[in-house]
Structure 1
Amino acid sequence: MTSPERPRVLGPVVDDMTSCVHYQGATDIVAIRFACCGEYYPCHLCHEETAGHPAQQWATDQHDREAILCGACGHELTITEYFAATACPQCAALFNEGCELHREHYFQLGPG
């Protein structure tokens, strides 16, 4: 059961777990709050197709911000927590480890 305060997720979301038309695997259950607009989208392609503005990365000194939404339970993680997790710390739902390959779309990874 999700909380009534659960943030909205924009873009072509295909289920209640935040899967989208681009990524629909069983572990594709996170949405990312974009630094540019503060809105959650399932992926960088969803943002690119629907936001109407260019994406901006979270700076390395902002990795303490809550910017990851677990689609399974609605728990929000900081970027640092997400980088260290393979599953949601709240509900233990597994995250797609392959998402690590796309981090540069969302986050600055070096000194910023």
Structure 2
Amino acid sequence: MQLVSGIPVYGVDIGPSTRCAHYHTDRDVLAFKFDCCERYYPCIRCHEAVTDHDAEPWPRHRFSEPSVLCGACGTTFTAPEYLECEYRCPSCEVSFNPGCEAHLGHYLER
């Protein structure tokens, strides 16, 4: 577990900007909150590695609640804000990895 702006982020070898053992490029600075355990993880592989339950993505009926964390500045924001941000933090404008789109169904209910 690593604290990012006071928010615990769980996974494998988490760094201070939410990079993990699985994804650690300069753009891998996101963590997503999972509905099943109300915890932030940098990726689905981290969730699988450190929990004993199936991952449940953030549900649509909770999209008004913060569920995405920018590891660069520590800002949390909602799923719609993330989906509309064009791979840039709406607060600090750091670039996010566009490859996360391929895994988005693990993090946000579609």
Q: TM-score, normalised by structure 1?
A: 0.88
Q: Which one has the largest radius of gyration?
A: 1
Find the counterpart in structure 1 of residue 39 from structure 2.
39
Measured against aligned partners, the alpha-carbon deviations of 1:30-61 in whole angstroms (never above 9, x if no partner) come to: 01111111111110000011022111122222
Find the counterpart in structure 2 of residue 108 from structure 1.
109
Task: Return structure 1 stretches of 4+ with deviation > 2 angstroms.
Answer: none
- Structure 2: unaligned runs, 5 residues or longer: none
Determine what percentage of the aligned residue pairs are the same residue: 39
- Structure 1: unaligned runs, 5 residues or longer: none
Task: Check the 8 A contact 2:33/2:40 in 1, yes or no.
Answer: yes
Q: TM-score, normalised by structure 2?
A: 0.89
Aligned length: 106
Aligned ranges for residues 5-84 of structure 1 at < 5 Å? 6-84=6-84
Structure 1 residues 70 and 5, CA gap change in structure 2 (3 angstroms): closer
